[in-house]
Amino acid sequence: MVRVKLWGSLRALADGEEWVEVEASNFKELLDALSEKYPGLAPQIKRGVSLALDGVIYREAWFTKIGPENEVVLMPYMVGG
């Protein structure tokens, strides 16, 4: 199981939880599992999200390995100037 942290405005779409747990070994599995478990998150995930793994932000990168020992945080997909 992987624990993933949701940002505040997503929590209402995931039973009010800040941390949710899903079965996943990489980012793709994580996002698929989140969309399935919490359909309310699916539109945001489809639009695009970033993921922070132990403090490093990844914008896409489905096959990044994650495990229970990692800190995984969902973040909005970001753009720069």
Partner 1 sequence: MAFDAQAERNFKVVGTRVLRPDGIDKVTGKAAYGADISAPGMLHGRILRSPHAHARIVSIDVSEAEKLPGVKAVVTGADLAQPEDDAFSDVAINCLARDKALYDGHAVAAVAATSKSIAKQAIRLIKVDYEVLPHVTDVDEAMKPDAPVVQEGRALETVPAGMSQNVTTHCQFGHGDLEAGFAKADKIIERSFKTAATHQGYIEPQACMASLGNDGRGEVWCCTQGQYMVRANCAAALGVEESQLRITASEIGGGFGGKTSTFIEPVALALSRKAGKPVKIVMTRDEVLKATGPTISSSMDIKIGMTKDGRITAGQGVLRYSGGAYPNATVEMGAQAAFAAYNLEAVETIGWNAMTNRPKEIPYRAPGAPTAIYAVESVVDELCQELGLDPLDVRLMNAADKGTLSSYGPTFNEIGLVATLEAAKAHPHYTAPLGPNQGRGLSCGFWFNFGGNTCVSLNINDDGTVGVVEGNPDIGGSRASISMMAAEEMGVPYEKVRTVIADTSSLGFNDITDGSRVTFAVGLATIQAARAAIKEMCRRVAKIWDIDEDAVIWEDGCAKPAGPNAGTHPPMTLAEIAAIAGKTGGPIAGHHEVNADGAGVSFGVHLCDTEVDPETGAVKILRYTVFQDAGKAVHPDYVEGQMQGGAVQGIGWALNEEYIYGEDGRLQNAGFLDYRVPVASDLPEIETVILEIPNPGHPYGVRGVGETPIVPPLAAIANAVSRAAGVRMTELPMSPPRLLKAITG
Footprint on this chain of partner 1 (rule: CB under 8 A): 5, 7-10, 13, 18, 40, 43-44, 52, 54-61, 64, 71, 73-76, 78-81
Is 36 or 54 the residue whose CB approaches partner 1 more closely? Answer: 54
CA-nearest of 33, 44, 38 to 66 is 33
Minimum CB distance to partner 1, residue 60 (Å): 6
Tokens for 38?
Answer: 């919490």
Q: How far is CA 77 from CA 68, 69, 74, 80, in A?
A: 23, 24, 9, 10
Minimum CB distance to partner 1, residue 13 (Å): 7
